[in-house]
Chains A and B, each alone.
Chain A
């Protein structure tokens, strides 16, 4: 049994990044993820890595752009308002085919919002917070252990597909402590050398250019269309979700991250009362895993999407279900966290109190 250590989510994700070979972190303080930066400030110097607190999230994401363009594994993390500031930079990173990992430990919004957990950045992450046609792979861990595993995998995905990968957690995940082990991850991807990086020609090769500007529209379109072929392969091969007690379910809950765990508790209680309820937990928010919804949409009475928002992922659920079954919603926002009791009550209402 691997050695487990009790660790706060923010620090665990930082350690996971270091273990994935990340030696460059550019960040800026913002609750509830500041411990990531504090951890990096302490650990990076010990291993010859670089921790730099930038003057703003805008500067931080552009430092990430430069470092990624120079061929390094680089991480930045922030929370909702900070991620908004980074969205232009993320669009540039996607538009220049640069690999990096970006964490969003989501908090209540909009505006300054609050500091409690939320999931109200789903659209920003999956539908493009920045300008132009682009995507990030978005991974949504539901536990500190899964966050550790997904952070490591994120660096492989970023390098393999040469694109930004987002870890989408929430304030709860960042702040809570759970036992976690670090040893298990083994890379599954064959990673190519970064011959495109700006490391200096050494007069041995033609110059490398990191750029997203293409003033002739034919050229820009060709590049974007090419990139979308890559996105198609990712949709095909990387979409992932977890199923829980769906086989005989009358109602299937769709929920991700920590709220999937809250939903599981509600499901157990519902089952105790004879209500057959299951869960589909998207792990990749982009690409969204449609398969389980397609599989069950003709068998279930209804889906119930539960989110810490006013309902954002529900749109993707509806697209996947495409009208074959009703899709209801239950959510809390602003930092409020739905309780199992609330979800159970919603389930009972949906079943019309019928047993």
Chain B
């Protein structure tokens, strides 16, 4: 007899995200995880610039807003001061894979004991749909109006694959929330990533492929389909590094 309601660590403030934006789903999965692990009182979240910059309105735990790209550094500062706090960052692809690449790679290489939630929607959402490092070849955006031309605009970054080569990484997993099976997988991955931190295993990152209906120019439901047919083939779901598992 399933019962279902808003997790305690998610505030009741109306989310500003566009209809169908997957941010809302992932916010709830993170909040459910915080509730289930009973860590709301010790958790500190860091949300940098991007659509999720207002995340400090949505999580009941202490929050810090970070400059664009710098969340892993801010999180490092917080974690080093109070190692018993559970520190997570919640970053978009423009933030983590473009301006914040160095902070991401080095926090991972340091094995910083933090949890990174990485939303990959292949576009810059907040600023109105520009090309991101994760924009697919041929994908049309405000700044790749003729479709991303790899000759001049290069290839997308595959973050999980990249970070899986670093010894400091305890867990690097890519998920999606486009259907119930994937949502369940994502919840498990997020919970494992937070548990890793509690168990002091080092850097854990969960990359969640997400839709951006508004800037993809699709309806929320069409966007789920586009994600399945285009993003998942380019960014295969799965575990890319897991210190506990066989990977």
Contacts and interface: CB of A to CB of B under 8 A. Distances in A.
Contacts of A69: 64, 74, 77-78
Contact of A70 (B44, B59, B73): B44
Given A58-B70, A66-B46, A200 B106 contact: no
A4 interface: no
A212 interface: yes
Interface centre among A54, A56, A62, A96 (most CB of B within 10 A): A62
B65 A72 contact: no
A58 B76 CA distance: 13
Interface string A90-109: 00100010000000000000
Interface in B56-84: 56, 59-67, 70, 73-82
A72 B44 CA distance: 15
Contacts of A60: 73
A193 to B, nearest CB: 15
Contacts of A64: 77
21 contacts: A24-B77, A50-B80, A52-B80, A54-B106, A55-B103, A56-B102, A59-B103, A63-B77, A65-B64, A65-B74, A65-B77, A66-B76, A70-B78, A70-B81, A89-B67, A200-B41, A200-B43, A201-B40, A207-B59, A207-B61, A208-B63
Interface in A70-100: 70-72, 74, 88-89, 92, 96
Contacts of A62: 66-67, 70, 73-74, 77, 103
Contacts of B85: 70, 199-200
Contacts of A1: none
Contact of B41 (A54, A96, A202): A202
Given A52-B76, A198-B63, 10 more contacts: A24-B81, A59-B70, A62-B77, A66-B73, A67-B80, A69-B74, A74-B81, A200-B62, A210-B64, A211-B64
A70 B63 contact: no
Contact of A66 (B61, B75, B105): B75
A116 to B, nearest CB: 29
B165 interface: no
A209 B42 contact: no
Contacts of A52: 76, 80
A69 B67 CA distance: 13
B77 A26 contact: yes
B53 interface: yes
A63 B62 contact: no
Contacts of B44: 70, 198-200
Size range of the chain B interface in the assembly: 20 to 34
A210 B54 CA distance: 12
A204 interface: yes
Contacts of B41: 200-204
A67 B43 CA distance: 15
A200 B42 CA distance: 4
Contacts of A24: 77, 80-81
Interface centre among A56, A96, A199 (most CB of B within 10 A): A199
Contacts, number: 131
A96 B70 CA distance: 15
A202 B42 contact: yes
Contacts of A47: none
A89 B71 CA distance: 12
Nearest to B79: A66
Contacts of A67: 77-78, 80-81
B146 to A, nearest CB: 33
Nearest to A63: B77
A112 interface: no
Given A59-B103, A67-B78, A198-B78, A213 B40 contact: no
A201 B61 contact: yes
Contact of A71 (B61, B81, B102): B81
B65 A213 contact: yes
Contacts of B76: 52, 59, 63, 66
Contacts of B65: 96, 209-213
Contacts of B62: 198-201, 207-209
A24 B76 CA distance: 11
Nearest to B75: A66
A207 B42 CA distance: 11
Given A54-B106, A70-B82, A198-B44, A65 B61 contact: no
Contact of A203 (B40, B46, B77, B81): B40
Interface in A178-231: 198-204, 207-213
Interface string B83-98: 0010000000000000
A203 B78 CA distance: 19
B61 to A, nearest CB: 6
A99 to B, nearest CB: 13
Interface centre among A58, A88, A96 (most CB of B within 10 A): A58
A24 B79 CA distance: 11
A300 B110 CA distance: 60
A59 B81 contact: no
A207 B77 contact: no
Nearest to A67: B77
